[in-house]
A and B are shown apart, each in its own frame.
Chain A
Amino acid sequence: MNQKDLKSIADKLKDRPFPGKRVFLWIGSIDRLRNILPSDIVKTIRISDILPLLESDDKKLQRMIKRSIDSMLQQIRYELKGQQILLVEDAVLLARYSLEIAGFFDWYVGDRTMVIFSIPDLDGAEKVANEYNIKFNKNALLDYFKSHLDSENIIWEGVE
């Protein structure tokens, strides 16, 4: 799938609900993504907003995040009117904490909704990470999403 197809699905969803469980991964600039989405039905969330502070135990943190996400998704779904596209801005954190994305299927996606996980351009991100001496494994990040999503649900910016 390319960005043109994604735009067409997003536009269709804006017009009317239609059946399916739509979860996509966008790799590229978030601004570019916003440009192709119908802004009036886009809701943006950030995993970093619900990251618990002062918790160093990864496993515990993982569980806490999962519960927070589940609860947030249920709330969003409850408040849902019409159609909606949920844009997860810092989806990279899902991979960082090896969270399953089951919650998005359980609590959110449906005929009126779709989810787009956004991760930045990988080469650029790697470059920045290297500048700050941060360990960054772009393959691991991609593999994480590939394991949960079909390849046709992964969209690279600029690929027509």
Chain B
Amino acid sequence: MNRTRIGDLIQIKEGLEATLSLANAIKTPDITVGSYIFTNSISRYMKIILDAVIKGHGAGFWIQAEYGAGKTHFLSTLASLLAYGDEKVWKNVQDDEIRNYRQSLTNYKLFPVLINLKGEGKPDPMNDDLFEVIEKKIEDSLEECGIRDKVKLTSDDKMVGWYRENPLRGDIDEYIRKNGLDPIRMDNDSLASYIRKYCDERRVKINIPTSIKETLKSVYDQLNGIGYNGMLFVIDEFAGWQRRHPDSKAYATDEEVLETIAWILPREMGLNIYTMVASAGEPPAKLRGDRFRSIYLFAEGSEREFDLIVSRRVRNIIDEKKYEIKEYYEYYRSNGLLKKISEEYFFQIFPFQPSCFDVMRRVLKSPMLENLASTRSAIYYIYNILGNSTILNRDTLIRVCDLLSSQDLLQDIQNSLPIEYRSYRDAIESIKSLDLKNYMDLSEDIATTLFMWYIANKDKPLSLGELTDMVLAPDTLIKNTDNVEYILSMLVDVPQIKYIKDKGAVFIPSRENSEVIKTFNRYKKKVSDAEIRDYWLRLLYIDGFSSLFMSIEGPDRPKKRKVFFKNIEYPGEVILSRTLRDEYLGEINGDSHFRIVFLSEPADIDPAKLADVRIAVCVPSDLPDTLKDRIREYCAISKTKDEYFRSDQRSDDDKEWIKNKEKETIINIIREQRSVYRDGKVFTNQMLPIDTKKVFTSTDLDQILSSIVGTLLSSSYTKQPFDTFKRKFSENEARKLFEGFFKANPKRNALDACRNYGPNLALSLDDDPEKFHPMNDNSIFQFLRAKLDEKPEGVPVWRIYKELEDPPYGLLKNLITLYILAFVRANTNTEIRLKSGSIGRINSFNIEKIDWNNFEKDLDILVKSTDVSWNDVVIYARKILPDLKNAYSVEEIKEQEKKLIERLKELLEEYEKIKEDIKRLSNAFREEITYTGLDRLKKLLETTNYREFYGLIEDLYSKDVSELGKDIREFTCFKEVADKSLALLSMKTYVEKMRIQQDDPLFKDRENLIEEMRLSSLIKDPSLADRLIDDFEGFKRRYAIRYKKTHEGYYRELDDLRKRLESIKGRIETINRFEKLGVSTPVKGYNDLITKIKPCKADVNVINVETEPICTCGFQIGMKAPVEDVNRFIENVENMLRVGINNLIQIIKPLEHLDDRRILNKIIEKKDYVLEVCELIDDGVVDYIKHLQNTANIIQIEGLVLERFSGRFIDEESVYSVVEEFKRMIESEMERAKRNNPGKKVRMVLR
């Protein structure tokens, strides 16, 4: 040993702890700061932050680094300095420049709010509330700082503060007590919760700040008041916190809270608040830029800082031993090693060879190893190595090959890479078996270094120079690099170590010296040529790998495949075979359009034997030796596998190796498969020039097939009416085209298909692709037309399909169907007859009714149509609508038919109206009408297409156009009369309502008019109606004049009569008074007479004779006023009055002596003056007379005698006896009256 052992030059640290928690770290700020390693970049970041703090304007910093890189320690150190940074803490800072900040920042007091979000949050993460966490942490911090009672912090505090000074406090206390609690014993948050409940229930408003901004401003101000310079928010584990509630309101709130504390409060309100957020992720977009300054710990370019941190965390250099350490440096330099390493760096990382860290870092990031936390794990592995006394006793640096002396790392590698590790161990064993003499240790170091390099960098070769540096191979008599190269050459028999001069060395996990390899090699030597051919064929279609014919199930098992040609999917078959069998040479039939045969062995093919131009035979070249060798390997590994997997004795590692070897071999063979066909040939009937080099460039069989089939079909299908479609023409497109062109209201996708494919199929024009308009040069139409010309009696549809499927057309079944239907649609004189059992036929007009999915099987023959044509119908149709004309295309015919049907529909509507009107007239005119022609025509009007129309013309009119004409004329007559039905009806009604006395001259005119009103005559000759209406109007005018005139005269006369009657009203009253005195009977018939001469209420000048022939008063021309009746009545009244006066005189004379008022005397005096008597007799006088009669004791009774004699017949002989009887009766009545009225003088009035 020449140099001091490394264990004496360093001091290994104790109590290593790589995982920090913010809370713990801050408890011992001096230790936290003291253990922190300020690398260049860390120092730079610290300065940025500390400078910002010195400026005193507040700021936000986003500390980003990957997991385990030391974010928490960075935050803890910063927080320790800024919040707990007394002299003792600052003194421990390891970096001189940073330590200098203590002048400005010692005793600079930021109030710390330290938040570790790991484990925080609500049971439902969607309810997470960052501000609530911050409030809680501020509260904790206040307690920690002993100022809990000096700062009202949370809204709970403020709530309690508000309550304490509120007059409602008593009420609230009582409320809480009712809930079984004592407000004095409650803590703030429970108390606040009850205060809130109380206020909610009673709708009491609480005026305290509750927003984030207001709350923090309030806290800040209070802290300022007690000596704090500002606040420091340190938030750790933010990425994990946000992952709890992605895309939620809580997520947005996080951003809002952070923006408030880091930006709004410092910038808008000038608060000196610093926020540091540590996260494994980037800041949210909203918080980038000015809001948070990003600091990325250990970003690219600072790799060496990893070396420093790890070194310093595990050991200290013993200052006194620097000279000895320098000896190491000089020693290696003198051996041409570590040329790129500065002395300073050497000291910083001593006792480690620098590549240790680079390899370690890469190993930790290697995808081969799982769950190794970056820097933290490295610290443990390295620390572990320093626990190895053998290493500490050495006088060489710790090298890459020494890393495996970390038991932890070794264990992790064994767990994660068992096979590779076994392979490494095999290599070491192999080396030991070699005769390497003095080079044994170095050889093992080289193998171990290459193994570690393999984990770190996989297949990347390690250059000779680097390897020499890594193993620290010393110069001897031979230069160290030559030594290493020599050893590598010695290791040529170690299968895991490969060295290529000028490139470098690599470790390859291999097991070549094991029993299983030997078995494998034994089998390999025995593989025959026949086996090679068999296995080659088997591997061509092997499943589970990307073999060339993976999708083919096996040799000589034809596989249906579809290949795009002109962007149409053509079905065909693909065959893999060892030899070309006879059945592969024959014609292609049915729906198939190609046959591609891949032979597995070379063969010479006679093209003439290929019966169909659409057959291609792909023949491979001879297998190259290298490929044969690989197949041999595959054959051997298959056999080895059989042997090993049958036995339970074999190790899992061997089986794993077999599996990997098998997989690797298969992959290598498959990789070669195309090249054999690339060097082969493709045979076709026409010997088409198919370039195998190009065809087999692709690994995808579909593409290979597409290329071969494309060439085959383009030379076979020369009469296709279309070019390559711009879009894929899938199986459904023909149906969509059919629907788009021919169905009513096609869907959008059907119209899209017409637009995409119609013009290319020659079925529509470029400028209007959605409309069916076959092009003249459509070769399929020409084909069909020629077929029909050749066989007008009909062409079987199956034959059309057959011929169009085959070259030179090569159409798919769906397309043929489409073309046939399109042809029939375009040619109205063609039709498709359906097979027996299927009803009807398909022609231009019913194509749209076809159900595409279910009709092909019914098609029988394509034939010229025998159906009635529009032009046969038009002669009759013109009777209905004269504008109709001959037509030839479906569109024209449909247009003409449409016009006809619309007209028929109009006429049918008219028919209904006519029938109704005529029925009404028939009732009014009281005439039965027959509608024979009209009803016959109605059937015709109900037809819905021209064929039906024509059928009825045959049935109803025997195609006699004149008969149809008659019915149409009748229809017209009916219509004309029906059109005037209103006028005729009102005329008829008017005339019938008229009442004219027979002696009136108009009576005769009315009779004549009624005679002319005959409905049947009008229908026969509708022109009569107008004349009749004219006559009526003339008559009506005359009638009106006369009616008004006679009406006026009549009522004038009535008026006179009424006046006369009214003039005798006083006399009638007198007579009625007489009746009370028993001297007269009452006047009868006055009221009846008055009623008879009642005046017309209508104004004679405005009587509307236009609508009603008779006035509401019922006056009829020729009516007479009742003059005679009135005269008779008046005369009768006069007579009654005179008789009454005489009778009155008779009864009042005996009373004169009692007449004090001298009234009776006056009456008697005036008895001859009727009018004066009437004036004297009023109701008072009547009562007076009755009074006088009472006074005179006179009773007046009615003697009902006269009525007994009324109506009796007497003759001459019986006069006397009758008079005697009359006398007796009177006497008897008188006697009875006297008896009944004793003492009274009886006066009898005979009745």
* Partner-B contacts on A (CB < 8 A): 16-21, 23, 56-57, 59-60, 63, 77, 95, 98, 100-107, 109-112, 140, 143-144, 147-148
Residue numbers in A under 8 Å from B408 (CB-CB): 16, 18
12 contacts across the A-B interface (CB closer than 8 A): A17-B17, A18-B377, A59-B189, A60-B186, A60-B187, A60-B190, A63-B189, A98-B123, A102-B120, A103-B119, A105-B237, A109-B19
Residue numbers in B under 8 Å from A60 (CB-CB): 186-187, 189-190
Residue numbers in B under 8 Å from A104 (CB-CB): 119
- Indicate if the CB atoms of B122 and A147 lie closer than 8 Å: yes
Asked if B244 is an interface residue, CB under 8 A from chain A, the answer is: yes
CA distance A23 to B18 in the complex (A): 17
CA distance A143 to B180 in the complex (A): 32
Asked if B889 is an interface residue, CB under 8 A from chain A, the answer is: no
Minimum distance in angstroms from B1220 CB to a CB of chain A: 129
Residue numbers in A under 8 Å from B24 (CB-CB): 77, 106-107, 110
Known contacts A19-B373, A102-B118, A102-B119; A57/B16 CB under 8 A: no
Asked if B22 is an interface residue, CB under 8 A from chain A, the answer is: yes
CA distance A143 to B124 in the complex (A): 7
Asked if B121 is an interface residue, CB under 8 A from chain A, the answer is: yes
Minimum distance in angstroms from A75 CB to a CB of chain B: 13
Minimum distance in angstroms from A152 CB to a CB of chain B: 11
Minimum distance in angstroms from A105 CB to a CB of chain B: 4
- Indicate if the CB atoms of A110 and B21 lie closer than 8 Å: yes
Interface residues of B in 14-36 (CB under 8 A from A): 16-24
- Indicate if the CB atoms of A111 and B19 lie closer than 8 Å: yes
- Indicate if the CB atoms of B123 and A19 lie closer than 8 Å: no
Q: A105-B237, A147-B124, A148-B119 are in contact. List 15 more A-B contacts (CB 8 A).
A: A16-B408, A19-B18, A19-B377, A19-B379, A20-B373, A23-B119, A56-B181, A57-B190, A98-B122, A100-B119, A105-B119, A110-B21, A111-B380, A112-B17, A147-B121
Residue numbers in B under 8 Å from A19 (CB-CB): 18-19, 68, 373, 376-377, 379-380
> Chain B 109-127 against A: per-residue CB contact (8 Å), 1 yes, 0 no?
0000000111111111100
Minimum distance in angstroms from A134 CB to a CB of chain B: 19
Asked if B210 is an interface residue, CB under 8 A from chain A, the answer is: no
Residue numbers in A under 8 Å from B237 (CB-CB): 105
> Chain B 836-863 against A: per-residue CB contact (8 Å), 1 yes, 0 no?
0000000000000000000000000000
Interface of B is mostly: loop
Option from B17, B23, B384 in Cβ contact (under 8 Å) with A111: B17
CA distance A46 to B187 in the complex (A): 25
Known contacts A19-B68, A100-B121, A148-B119; A105/B21 CB under 8 A: yes
CA distance A130 to B885 in the complex (A): 91
Asked if B1228 is an interface residue, CB under 8 A from chain A, the answer is: no
- Indicate if the CB atoms of A100 and B17 lie closer than 8 Å: no
* Partner-A contacts on B (CB < 8 A): 16-24, 68, 116-125, 180-181, 186-187, 189-190, 193, 237, 244, 373, 376-377, 379-380, 384, 407-408
Residue numbers in B under 8 Å from A77 (CB-CB): 24
CA distance A16 to B406 in the complex (A): 12
CA distance A127 to B373 in the complex (A): 42
Closest to A58 in B: B190
Q: Which of B16, B123, B186, B189 has the most CB of A within 10 A?
A: B123
Closest to A8 in B: B415
- Indicate if the CB atoms of B123 and A110 lie closer than 8 Å: no
CA distance A17 to B379 in the complex (A): 11
- Indicate if the CB atoms of A59 and B190 lie closer than 8 Å: yes
- Indicate if the CB atoms of A109 and B21 lie closer than 8 Å: yes
Closest to B143 in A: A67
Known contacts A112-B17, A140-B123; A147/B189 CB under 8 A: no
CA distance A147 to B241 in the complex (A): 10
CA distance A69 to B125 in the complex (A): 22
Closest to A22 in B: B19
Closest to B383 in A: A17
Residue numbers in A under 8 Å from B118 (CB-CB): 21, 102, 105
Minimum distance in angstroms from A71 CB to a CB of chain B: 12
Residue numbers in A under 8 Å from B117 (CB-CB): 102
CA distance A100 to B120 in the complex (A): 5
Option from A57, A101, A111 in Cβ contact (under 8 Å) with B119: A101
Residue numbers in A under 8 Å from B407 (CB-CB): 16
Residue numbers in B under 8 Å from A101 (CB-CB): 119
CA distance A148 to B377 in the complex (A): 25
Minimum distance in angstroms from B65 CB to a CB of chain A: 15
Residue numbers in B under 8 Å from A102 (CB-CB): 116-120
Closest to B114 in A: A106
Q: Which of A19, A60, A63, A103 has the most CB of B within 10 A?
A: A19
Residue numbers in A under 8 Å from B190 (CB-CB): 57, 59-60
Closest to B408 in A: A16
- Indicate if the CB atoms of A144 and B19 lie closer than 8 Å: no
- Indicate if the CB atoms of A63 and B119 lie closer than 8 Å: no
CA distance A152 to B123 in the complex (A): 18
Known contacts A19-B373, A57-B190, A98-B123; A147/B21 CB under 8 A: no
CA distance A100 to B137 in the complex (A): 13
- Indicate if the CB atoms of B116 and A105 lie closer than 8 Å: yes
- Indicate if the CB atoms of B21 and A95 lie closer than 8 Å: no
Residue numbers in A under 8 Å from B16 (CB-CB): 17, 111
Closest 10 CB pairs of A and B: A19-B376, A102-B119, A106-B23, A101-B119, A105-B118, A144-B123, A105-B119, A110-B19, A19-B18, A57-B190
CA distance A13 to B376 in the complex (A): 15
CA distance A110 to B123 in the complex (A): 24
- Indicate if the CB atoms of A148 and B121 lie closer than 8 Å: yes
- Indicate if the CB atoms of A111 and B18 lie closer than 8 Å: yes
Residue numbers in A under 8 Å from B124 (CB-CB): 143, 147
Residue numbers in B under 8 Å from A57 (CB-CB): 181, 186-187, 190
Minimum distance in angstroms from B912 CB to a CB of chain A: 72
Closest to B21 in A: A106
Residue numbers in A under 8 Å from B17 (CB-CB): 17, 110-112
- Indicate if the CB atoms of A18 and B380 lie closer than 8 Å: yes
Residue numbers in B under 8 Å from A95 (CB-CB): 123
Minimum distance in angstroms from B70 CB to a CB of chain A: 11
Closest to A148 in B: B119
Residue numbers in A under 8 Å from B193 (CB-CB): 59
Residue numbers in B under 8 Å from A16 (CB-CB): 380, 384, 407-408
Minimum distance in angstroms from A14 CB to a CB of chain B: 13
Closest to B23 in A: A106
Residue numbers in B under 8 Å from A63 (CB-CB): 187, 189
